[in-house]
């Protein structure tokens, strides 16, 4: 039954690891702005799509 010591220490270590991640997240300012990231997240795709379209456009321009 002394395995309980190992199990408990593992569980506490995991919990502390998560806790440290939380502290780091707060420290990095993640909780200061709760809105902008939610919008920023949606940009990535638009940007890629747009830039390929643009490059096609410029190519056709060159053909003319």
Partner 1 sequence: MEDNQCFHCGDPCGSTPIHFQEKQFCCNGCKTVFEIFSENDLTSYYDLQKSPGAIPTEIEEKYDFLDQASIVQKLTEFQDDDIEIVTLYIPHIHCSSCIWILENLNKLNPSISNSQVNFGKKTVRVTYSAKNTSLKELVLLLSRIGYEPYISLEDYSSSEKHINRSLIYKLGVAGFAFGNIMFLSFPEYFEVNEYWLEQYKHFFRWLMFSLSLPVVFYSAQDYFISAFKGLRAKLLNIDVPIALGITVLFLRSTIDIMFDLGSGFFDSLSGLVFFLLVGKFFQQKTYDFLSFERDYKSYFPIAITKINKDNTEESIPVYKIEQGDRLLIRNEELIPVDGILIKGEGAIDYSFVTGESHHVAKHSGDKLFAGGKQKGGVLEIQALKSVEQSYLTQLWSNDIFSKNKEEGFTNITNAISKHFTIAILTIALIATSFWLYADISKAMNVFTAVLIIACPCAIALSAPFTFGNMLRIFGKLKFYIKNVGALEQLSKINTIVFDKTGTLTSNSNHTSYVGEPLNTKEELVLKNTLRGSNHPLSRSLYELLQSNDIISLDHFAEHTGKGIESSFKGIDLKIGSANFVGQAQEQTITNTVVHISSNNEYKGHFAFYNNYRKGVSGLFKRLWKQFELIVLSGDNDSERDNLQKLLPAKTKLIFNQKPDDKLEFIKYHQSEGSKVLMVGDGLNDAGALAQSDVGIAISDNVNVFSPACDAILDACKLNQLDSYLWASRKAIDIIKWSFVFSFFYNVIGLYFAVTGQLEPVIAAILMPLSSISIVVFTTVCTNMLVRKLK
What's the closest the beta carbon of residue 12 comes to partner 1, in angstroms? 7
Nearest approach, Cβ of residue 63 and partner 1 (Å): 19
8's tokens: 């408990």
Q: Contact positions toward partner 1, by CB under 8 A?
A: 1, 4-5, 8, 11-12, 15, 19, 22-23, 26-27, 29, 31-36, 39-40, 42-43, 46-47, 50-51, 54
Minimal distance, residue 44 CB to partner 1, in Å: 11
DSSP state of 2: T
DSSP, residue by residue, 12-63: HHHHHHHHHHHHHHHHTTTTT-SSHHHHHTTHHHHHHHHHHHHHHHHHHHHH
């Amino acid at each position: 039954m002394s395995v309980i010591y190992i199990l408990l220490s593992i569980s506490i270590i995991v919990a502390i690891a998560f806790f440290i991640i939380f502290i780091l997240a707060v420290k990095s300012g993640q909780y200061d702005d709760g809105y902008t990231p939610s919008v920023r997240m949606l940009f990535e795709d638009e940007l890629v799509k747009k830039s390929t379209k643009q490059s096609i456009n410029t190519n056709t321009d060159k053909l003319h």
